Amino acid sequence: MDVCLISRSPPYPLFHLVVFVRVFVTLPFLNSSQSSFCFIISLYIPLKPQKTRLTYPNTHKHTHTLTHPQEHTTSLGEAKRRATDEGTLLEVAGGGRLVVGQKLHSLDGDFMFLETLDGEVGEWKIYPEALPGDTMLIFSTCHGAPSLPTPLYDLQDGRLEVVGEASTSNMSLKALCDKETREFHLFFPVWMTYIEARRWCRKLKGSVALPKDSETNALLVDRFIRHRDTCAQTWTHLFWVDAEGEGKEGPWRTTEGELLSFTPFLQEDSAGQEDVQCAAAVSHNRKKWAVSPCQMETCVLCAFNTHPEIRLYGLCDHSSLDRLFSFRDHPKYELIFEGVSHVVLAAQNGSWVMRSRLYPSLKAVMVTQYEGQDPVGVRTWVVEGDRCREKEVRKRNERKRT
């Protein structure tokens, strides 16, 4: 049997969500000793809302085994070595069941925690014939593939068994392979002046949000209207807008100097005053902004066009904690750092806490010096359950330079 593995991997950082699914494929009709067969997987773990999700064993070392009633087992690595040595096609015996995993402890698919991958799988297809190398290259580089035979199995035919917490939905090939990150927002229900808001968003490699039209402005106000009592200081201000006025009669620009064409100010605020040169969205009018003193304090809405990477320094060589983190859009628009492997860094009870999805006893709590202190920068952490001897360490979180 020719086994072809094609992995279509768009350029997204590998950060993920825990899902556990067992996938079995039974091939009762492949009774011949040698059958032509192609197994195509498009695996993606994007920092964007989930589309199609299945748990798949660790991607670093795939093992594809086909079992016979005679208990004959062949691994993909074994078949590769034999094909290379003999200069033949990559073949394994036909018939039986295909089991996908890494270092499987059971061919029944009873994966251990360490044998699973948190992530998403798309375009899972098994074809009845091997594909030429150039076709596989076209497929794996997200170009339009030529006409292909009807697959024996795919995610649409309903014959793959999915067990566990999983959901499926459709997305276009363009959306799967799109290299551009769609803009997303994170909301911070804490008071800041406009300058402080700018610094905070820039620290996270984003910018203060700037709605480009009335509909977008209304949509954002609706999402965060529940925070109006928290954000309002003296009026109905909800969050800062990336706009600065140039005096009483001057035009309005972004902090980068770009002239704004969309300036939906409340009628009474259209002219402005000398000491009123900033703008904020308001909760009582979904499509309008208010000219506001820059030293006023209200909540912050940051916009992002990339998924920033934060690196953690100060760990011992044997630490189990992740060293590289990132964040993405969140259903509640909250800032949560996802480790590259298994650690999640999130705010909890007034501090920041690292927890592991892999090791239940591993935990690190930031020693907070003042209310609202963020985890980016040099901080002291109390660590539990790690392989390092130190129980309290000073770590530095920095944005990764690109």
Q: Is the pLDDT of residue 143 over 90?
A: no
CATH class of 1-178: mainly beta
Among residues 229, 216, 214, the alpha carbon closest in space to that of 184 is found at 216
The residue-averaged pLDDT of 43-64 equals 30
Of the listed ranges 211-220, 222-231, 255-264, 297-306, the one predicted with least confidence: 255-264
Share of the chain above pLDDT 90, in %: 22
Would you list the domain boundaries of the chain? 1-178, 184-304, 309-399
CATH of domain 184-304: 3.10.100.10
For 117, half-sphere exposure in the C-beta direction (CA atoms, 13 angstrom radius) is: 23
Stated pTM of the model: 0.61
Neighbours of 377 (CB within 10 A): 11
Please identify which residue in the block is written with the tokens 């954000």. Answer: 231
Share of the chain above pLDDT 70, in %: 58
pLDDT tens digits for range 215-249? 999 999 999 999 989 998 878 999 999 998 865 45
Is residue 31 within 8 A of residue 114, CB to CB? The reply is no
pLDDT of residue 239: 96
DSSP string, 128-181: SSPPPHHHHHHHHTTPPP---PPPSEETTSS-S---SS-------HHHHH--SP
Helix (H) or strand (E) holding 377: strand 377-384
Of the listed ranges 38-52, 171-185, 329-343, 352-366, the one predicted with least confidence: 38-52
154 vs 19, residue with greater confidence: 154
Mean pLDDT rounded to a whole number for the chain: 71
Q: Is the pLDDT of residue 104 over 90?
A: no
pLDDT of residue 155: 73
pLDDT tens digits for range 194-204? 999 999 999 99
Q: Is the pLDDT of residue 126 over 50?
A: yes
Distance from C-alpha of 303 to C-alpha of 19, rounded to nearest angstrom: 28
Over the range 27-65, which residues count as b (16 or more CB within 10 Å of their CB) and which as e?
beebeeeebbbbbbbbbbbbbbebbbbbbbbeeeebbbb
